[in-house]
Structure 1
Amino acid sequence: NILNITIINIYAPNSGSSMYVKQILLNFRNQIDHNTIILGDFNMTLSPLDRSSRQKLNKETIDLNNTINNLDLTDIYRIYHPTKSEYTFFSAAHGSFSKIDHILCHKANVSKYKKI
């Protein structure tokens, strides 16, 4: 039983990343299905848990999260580690850690990726 998976890799710019990622998701919305994985360096956090400072999410990030939800996508890491803080980036200028690398998949297929 072979599973065909489509992988979309996103490397977002340092500024305007939430709008950039949102536009890519909207551009590919007709190709995103149950067997699509979207991953990469989004250069932004999707949840306050993704930051050591726990600051609130800005309007653009909330809008991106709504787009992710409307496409029936979810953050695989956050599903299996709902409270764990593991960071992928350190900002020396701000003295803070954050998780800016993400892996999204369709909500219906989360269980397929548990071992990965």
Structure 2
Amino acid sequence: MAAAGGSEMQDLGGRQGEQASASSTTAEVKDSPCTGETGASSGAGHSVAHLIGALRRSQEELATMGKADVLAYEDRLRALRLRVLQRIQEEEAKAAAAEQPTTEPRRVA
């Protein structure tokens, strides 16, 4: 039964990860002044927190999962972290490119 739950979780994480990747242009991660919890939102107005919440598991839930399910869960988290890092690097590169002048300034002789 644990294996079935793991495969459902893997499918859910992959599908939501692709949707979050496709729907957001930038992600801002910050601590909430009210709750102190870390949250994320994209520049497009979509919340990334629902994705993080969908992947979050309690210690009790992790304790009942089989070793293969836990390893698969860790792999999905690692892939999500890498995807977020790539997205941040892409956005930083776009911002840096936008700041560069497109033509050389005219020289006055």
What TM-score does the superposition give when structure 1 sets the normalisation length?
0.34
Larger Rg: 2
What TM-score does the superposition give when structure 2 sets the normalisation length?
0.36
Structure number with the higher strand fraction is 1
Structure number with the higher helix fraction is 2
